[in-house]
Amino acid sequence: VPHVPYVPYVPWRSALAAAVPGLHLCRVCRSWRHGHVHGHGHVHGQVARRGAVVEVPEAEAPAKAESAGDLAAEIRGDFPALRTDAYMGVPLIYLDSGATSQKPSCVLQALTEYYEHSANVHRGAYALAERATEAFEHARSSVAELIGAKSPEEIIFTSGATDAINLVAESWGSVNLKPDDEVLITVMEHHSNIVPWQLATQRTGAKLKWAGITDEGKLDVEEFKRLLSPKTKMVAFVHISNTLGCINPVKEMADAAHAVGAKVLLDACQSVPHLKIDVAELGVDFLVASSHKMYGPTGVGFLWGKSEILEGMPPWKGGGEMIKEVHMDESYYADVPARFEAGTPPIAQAVGLGVACDYLLRIGMDRVEAYEQELSKYLWESLSRVNGLKLYGPPPSMGPRAALVAFNDVEPDIYPQDVAGVLDADGVAIRAGHHCAQPLHREMGATYGSARVSCAFYNTKEEIDKFVEVLDEALETVRSGDACVFDPDDPDSCNCSSSRMRS
């Protein structure tokens, strides 16, 4: 199987032409295509500049690998962080991709090359600005391709998934939620999919409801369906729980919500980097995700929405870029997506996100998903053999789950923060805390949170073996009282890494 090719952002050519040979930005319709003809007679495959016609050669996209194989062995060299030491002489074992992913070299180079040749987008009539705009809009096209969107115009760049959910809650919510309407969420949501709906229902007088989980650690789908009613106007839920690892039945839930006339927003932060996503097959109305969890830069994410819904939503933020005309007494707003992208956007971050999407598309999400399902089973089985652990979420025997596991020591007063702190000394990076899911942890009886190990396609079974080995030692250390003990009532009482963790 050939190595995954390097996908650069090239400032002096079209970024997309560098990523996918044979494609180009049409200067007439501003869309990325292989050769075809529009009704206006313009032939794709030709780029017109100052009267000249330059042929763009067609080329086949590189073949995708057909099997999962040892994917990590092929691509680990693309991630500089995975070649570093946590401490001098202590190799890093990064098992916290559920919080944020590492970045491949092509993404890092894209950021550097944009800043070395930077210009604003959509404004300048000179070459540097045009190239920045091409790279920025290519990123929109790449995101659309990754999730199966009908059009790049359905992709709105935001500062992250939190920003995207707030956009919907405020813009859509301001015109569609009324007193006594209902918004339905679940107890397993990230705080970013709880607090915006609390604020929206408080502003509008609507009511917020939520579904719980089963004893097996899955969403209680039957309770979810019972809570739906004609009063339900919005249903917002997570695709994959960042704590339980369960994969929710999105299509079934979306169909049930639509049956009562509700719209559906899907938090796909934990699924877009790990599963093959097709928004049409999922049947949702909105989808959000964050770049930094999908091997791209921090500071950018996106909202996908059905065009007919987005077009009916008012602006959220005002300023430049989101307008057609501004008068002293009124303004006329731009079409989607510009209507929701006020001000100078996160250009470099979006370019990096686009390159990250190209990278994933080159590997093939089928292959990523297959490999991570192998890791998921291996991780669960390995942790199941560790004495004295409580694992959260459904086991792989109940169906596919994410390659992440949250756990706690069954002994009381053994805090996950202490376990993570001891593991860090051996170079193992995991998350400890509430994972921005405090209501879920209360539901599980895990008041002080949990420890969580989360994998990506660059992780290996050997890393899981090493993690389990040092976990046994860490548990022995913490149980014996030899570790620096985390005090949840006075977290600043010590200066170890565990005292600096936030929920």
What is the β-pairing status of strands 182-186 and 207-211?
parallel
* C-alpha 295: how far from chain center: 9
Instruction: Give phi and psi for 461, each to the nearest 5.
Output: -65, -30
Handedness of CA 348, 345, 300, 32 (dihedral sign): negative
Q: What is the DSSP letter of 324?
A: E
Instruction: Give me the DSSP letters along 39-104.
Output: TTSPBTTEEEETTEEEE----PPPPPPSS-SSHHHHHGGG-GGGGSEEETTEE-EE-BTTT-----
- CA angle 461/467/473 to nearest 5° reads 145
For the chain, the helix, strand and coil percentages under 3-state DSSP, each to the nearest 5: 40, 20, 45
- How far apart, in Å, are the Cα atoms of 470 and each of 72, 171, 199, 427, 485? 22, 48, 43, 10, 18
Residue whose structure tokens are 């070299």: 105
Output the six-digit token pair for 271: 């699924």
Which 8-state DSSP code applies to residue 500? Answer: G
Rg (CA), the chain: 24
* CA 22 – CA 30 distance, rounded (Å): 16
Q: Which helix (H) or strand (E) holds 208?
A: strand 207-211
The CA distance from 189 to 407, in Å, is 18
Strands 301-305 and 286-290: antiparallel
Q: What does the block give as tokens for 278? A: 């097709």
Structure tokens at 314: 């008012």
- Show which residues are catalytic: 436
Q: Which of 40, 98, 341, 372 is nearest to 238 (CA)?
A: 98
Encoding tokens for residue 422? 């001891």
